[in-house]
Amino acid sequence: MKTIMKCTLVATFMLSAITASASEVRFNVFTDSPKNVIVKIDTRFNEANVRLTNKYNNVIFSEEVPNTKTYFKKLNMENLENGIYLLTAENTLRAISYRITVFENEVKVSDRKENVKPVFRKSGAKVYLNLLNLEKSKVDIKVYDSENRLVFSEVSKNELIVEKAFNFENAYKDSYTVVVKDNLNTYYEDIVVK
């Protein structure tokens, strides 16, 4: 009972941290002329990466966001082919993407999408997983050992908050991988038991 209570408190704390961070993130994309896109990221989006990809998922532009008060970047789209591009800013907690359409002499910014990533927290030989599942989609959680053998498997359905605690204290000395898969992405976390 105490373990469940501790896990619930940890999960609540982690979710509060995610919610607080979510309200602080500011990633804006807009145009200032027919062929230019302006990227603006608030400094609270620390340790972020910005990238522009085409419809084939080829990276056209990628840059680490420097630790400054506000990050501005002007992207000239003039030499790009007509088509659809994806501009993404990503950190450890989330990825925010904008769809950019280039057609003739015009650039259009639309479709902002935000993807919340799971939070993994390690404490000794224990790993805590928290995922805010806004779509309440099916979430597969699996643990594999170094020989790719399935050690644990669980499916979560229709849950807003997916939380799980893994105790590796009595596990064999090995490296393990926790795999979390929702309807859009797959996330990995590695654990080494010595």
Give per-residue pLDDT as tens, 8-25: 544 444 554 444 444 455
The pLDDT of residue 137 is above 80: yes
Average pLDDT for residues 69-94, to the nearest whole number? 88
Contact 11, 161 (CB under 8 A): yes
Q: pLDDT tens-digit profile of 141-192?
A: 999 999 999 999 999 999 999 999 999 999 999 999 999 999 888 999 999 9
Domains with residue ranges and CATH for the chain:
17-116 (2.60.40.1930), 118-193 (2.60.40.3080)
- Distance between CA atoms of 13 and 138, rounded to whole angstroms? 24
Residue 164 vs residue 32, higher pLDDT: 164
Measure the CA–CA gap between 159 and 157, rounded to whole angstroms: 6
pLDDT band at 102 (very low <50, low <70, confident <90, very high): very high
Residue 26, Cβ density class (10 Å: 0-12 exposed, 13-18 middle, ≥19 buried): middle
Q: What is the pLDDT of residue 9?
A: 44
The DSSP bridge partners found for residue 129 are 120, 164
Q: How far apart are CA 179 and CA 55, in angstroms?
A: 27
pLDDT score for 6 = 54
Taking alpha carbons only, the member of 17, 99, 91, 13 closest to residue 54 is: 99
Cα distance between residue 130 and residue 186, in whole Å: 14
pLDDT-derived band at 27, boundaries 50, 70, 90: confident
